[in-house]
Amino acid sequence: SYNYVCPLGPALLFVKTSQGKEEGRRFYACSACRDRRDCNFFQWEDEKVSEARLAAREEYNRNHQPSFTHRQNVERYENFVLLPLSKRRFCQECQQLLLPAEWEKHSDHQFLCDISTAQLKSPSQLLYPLENKKTNAQYLFADRSCQFLLDLIIDLGFRQVLCVGTPRLHEKIQSKASQEEDFRVRSLLLDIDFRYSQFYTEDEFCHYNMFNHYFFGGEASCETCRKFLCQDNGERVIMVTDPPFGGLVGALASSFKKLMSMWKKTDKEEMPVFWIFPYFFESRILDYFPSFSMMDYQVDYDNHALYKYGKTGRRQSPVRIFTNLTPSMIVLPVEEGYRFCAICQRYVSSGNQHCEICNSCTSKDGRRWKHCVLCKKCVKPSWFHCNNCNCCALQNHTCEKTDAGCFVCGKAGHKRSTCPSLSCTRTGREKSHCTVFMASCLFLRCGIFFLFLLVFQALSVIWSKSPPCKICINECHINYFILP
Ligand SMILES: C[S@@+](CC[C@H](N)C(=O)[O-])C[C@H]1O[C@@H](n2cnc3c(N)ncnc32)[C@H](O)[C@@H]1O
Ligand SMILES: [Zn+2]
Ligand SMILES: [Zn+2]
Ligand SMILES: [Zn+2]
Ligand SMILES: [Zn+2]
Ligand SMILES: [Zn+2]
């Protein structure tokens, strides 16, 4: 049983951390929504909850169920495909296939007509990608990357693909399976996006939350997943996941471990996994999965302005494949410049040079990195060794160890609140001219306050227009820590 449940399943326990130390009260919040506007569930761990509040929450959860069940959606689909083309409509506002009896209700909504079988087979094209940055950044694979993944899966001999948050890969497999008789690969999609239940049966799609390992369809849905993983003795099964990048690696890892244990044959063996995630999460992923290694392949997306193949040629994508398969088995396309490093026994980017000192191909971002003898490791090409910080960093970084100084006068040794150029000091001799000083002091304070406001406004304008954080892509610097 769970402590607290919101419409997206069991809430997670969080605590704020600062410099690795826990700070403040622990609290429960929605597992999947980082933005209170999307799910406002909040509960202090040590807070007593009244019966009335619990009842209200249950009521709220009930009211926030989708309007149709998965079963109902499957039946609707069966009726939909019987309709002649001219009667097949899709409401773009409600993101829903419409049966003729429902047209009336959606008459002032935008809709698409003549929905073809091909369109029904590629729902990821029909549905608009959810782009709520904090909750569900639905970045869809560019066809180049999706095809690469599928070819790789086939070449490695896998037959069952558990697609966790990879609707486009699932869709590719499903449509091939329905078109080509000798295509033997099967797939099951696990995703939080319930819109997909309109296009897939209960054996093809499970409504699932990967932050808390929650099957919305209950035991039956969980059983579908277990069966899928265990058919043919669990041979030739692989899980491919591409979670939203907003962090919570620990929560994801814990769910993936649970999925992997549903497959588990022996203690030694691990279910093969492709976890697609940005390279800067490497150490976090390895913390949870020491058997994983990061591949150099750069995963491209269709609808991500930063990470897609631009018109001007190749843009760098920071998204990689993490896997527990032997790296040498992951053959990367030579046409795209990847080459095999015989010493590292893996394929690497063309720019990734083997460093003699580190004895490894050290680049993480595809550019050629340089070795720093003082740091005893390879670093980004744009970094320089800073003697102040005693490590490599960007040339224009602010050194960590030096005192940033006073906000007002810039001098070191004191903070804004005790700045001598501002405050009316309390020593007796100075009190005499205090009134005059007070006035100018107040004037100065107001001035600085407004200046501060202005700068803040300017900054927030700049922030809102600048591309998302390069480190975490959509969600900046989560300082929460999930307790086990
Ligand atoms: C970054 S997109 C990956 C899509 C993938 N590149 C593709 O083209 O198939 C993340 C996917 O995970 C799903 N997702 C987001 N949050 C989720 C959650 N809490 N549990 C399960 N799936 C989730 C989204 O609906 C989306 O399909
Ligand atoms: Zn509608
Ligand atoms: Zn190498
Ligand atoms: Zn090196
Ligand atoms: Zn250095
Ligand atoms: Zn420095």
Ligand of minimum distance to the alpha carbon of 388: 6
> Which residues make beta-bridge pairs with 96?
91
CA of 286 to the centre of ligand 6 (A): 28
Which one has a higher pLDDT value, 466 or 484? 484
> Ligand 1 atom closest to Cα of 137?
1
What's the Cα-to-Cα distance from 246 to each of 27, 54, 135, 144, 469, rounded to whole Å?
A: 19, 29, 8, 24, 10
Residue 155 pLDDT grade (very low, low, confident, very high; cuts 50, 70, 90): very high
Ligand of minimum distance to the alpha carbon of 375: 5
Pair 59, 199 in one domain: no
Q: Greatest CA separation found in the chain?
A: 97
Choose one of 31, 136, 189, 252 to mutate for the ligand 1 pocket test, by most ligand atoms within 8 angstroms of C-beta: 136
For 461, phi then psi, to 5°, come to: -65, -45
377-396 pLDDT tens trace: 999 999 999 999 999 999 98
CA of 447 to the centre of ligand 1 (A): 48
Pair 43, 183 in one domain: no
Pair 98, 200 in one domain: no
Q: Tell me what the pLDDT averaged over the chain comes to.
A: 84
- Is 282 inside a domain boundary? yes
> Ligand 1 atom closest to Cα of 163?
9
Residue that has been written with the tokens 């744009």 in this structure: 382
E-only strand ranges, 233-295: 237-241, 273-278, 293-294
Tokens for 120?
A: 């029904």
Residue 36 pLDDT grade (very low, low, confident, very high; cuts 50, 70, 90): confident
pLDDT of residue 431: 33
> Which residues make beta-bridge pairs with 119?
none
Atom 8 (ligand 1) nearest CA: 140
- Is 336 inside a domain boundary? no
- Three-state DSSP class for residue 436: helix
- Is 392 inside a domain boundary? no
CA of 381 to the centre of ligand 6 (A): 17
> Ligand 1 atom closest to Cα of 138?
2
Pair 248, 305 in one domain: yes
Pair 153, 264 in one domain: yes
Pair 57, 78 in one domain: no
**Would you say residue 413 has pLDDT above 90?**
no
Domain of 75, in residue numbers: 70-115
Q: How many CA atoms lie within 13 A of 403 on its CB side?
A: 9
**Would you say residue 196 has pLDDT above 90?**
yes
Atom 20 (ligand 1) nearest CA: 209
Atom 2 (ligand 1) nearest CA: 138
CA of 203 to the centre of ligand 1 (A): 19
Ligand of minimum distance to the alpha carbon of 9: 1
Which one has a higher pLDDT value, 415 or 454? 454
- Is 94 inside a domain boundary? yes
pLDDT of residue 434: 36
- Ligand 1: list residues with CB < 6 Å: 32, 136-141, 165-169, 191-193, 208-211, 242-244
Name the range with the highest mean pLDDT among 61-65, 255-259, 268-272: 255-259
pLDDT of residue 421: 47
A 10 A CB-CB count for 357 gives: 12
> Which residues make beta-bridge pairs with 319?
278
11-23 pLDDT tens trace: 998 887 777 677 7
**Would you say residue 409 has pLDDT above 70?**
no
> Ligand 1 atom closest to Cα of 136?
15
Pair 225, 105 in one domain: no
**Would you say residue 76 has pLDDT above 50?**
yes
113-148 pLDDT tens trace: 999 999 999 999 999 988 765 556 789 999 999 999
Contacts of 437 (CB under 8 A, 6+ apart): 424, 430
Ligand of minimum distance to the alpha carbon of 373: 5
Residue 86 DSSP symbol: G
Complex ipTM above 0.95?
yes
Last residue of one domain, picked from the residues 329, 344, 379? 329
Residue 306 pLDDT grade (very low, low, confident, very high; cuts 50, 70, 90): low
- Interior/surface letters 374-405, b for 16+ CB within 10 angstroms, e for the rest: eeebbbbeebeebeeeeebbeeeeeeeeeeee
pLDDT of residue 458: 55
Last residue of one domain, picked from the residues 281, 296, 329? 329
Pair 57, 161 in one domain: no
Cα–Cα distance measured from residue 442 to residue 422, given in angstroms and rounded to the nearest whole number: 9
**Would you say residue 455 has pLDDT above 70?**
no
Atom 17 (ligand 1) nearest CA: 192
Pair 197, 215 in one domain: yes
Pair 174, 218 in one domain: yes
Residue type present at position 62: R
Cα–Cα distance measured from residue 271 to residue 1, given in angstroms and rounded to the nearest whole number: 27
pLDDT of residue 309: 53
- pLDDT above 70 covers a percentage of the chain that reads 79
**Would you say residue 366 has pLDDT above 80?**
yes
**Would you say residue 468 has pLDDT above 50?**
no
Quote the number of domains for the chain: 3
**Would you say residue 448 has pLDDT above 50?**
yes
- Is 172 inside a domain boundary? yes
Last residue of one domain, picked from the residues 277, 299, 329? 329
- Is 324 inside a domain boundary? yes
pLDDT of residue 162: 98
> Ligand 1 atom closest to Cα of 299?
6
Cα–Cα distance measured from residue 158 to residue 174, given in angstroms and rounded to the nearest whole number: 15
Residue type present at position 275: W
**Residue whose C-alpha is closest to residue 122's, from 100, 144, 140:** 140
Which one has a higher pLDDT value, 134 or 26? 26
Atom 13 (ligand 1) nearest CA: 165
Ligand of minimum distance to the alpha carbon of 214: 1
Pair 14, 145 in one domain: no
Atom 12 (ligand 1) nearest CA: 165
Low-confidence winner among 104-108, 119-123, 299-303, 474-478 (lowest mean pLDDT): 474-478
Pair 99, 197 in one domain: no
- Is 362 inside a domain boundary? no
* Over residues 465-479, mean pLDDT: 36
* Over residues 198-225, mean pLDDT: 97
- Is 312 inside a domain boundary? yes
- Interior/surface letters 87-102, b for 16+ CB within 10 angstroms, e for the rest: ebbbbeebbbbbeeee
Q: What CATH number is associated with residue 247?
A: 3.40.50.150
Low-confidence winner among 78-82, 148-152, 315-319 (lowest mean pLDDT): 315-319
**Would you say residue 470 has pLDDT above 60?**
no
CA of 400 to the centre of ligand 6 (A): 6
> Ligand 1 atom closest to Cα of 141?
8
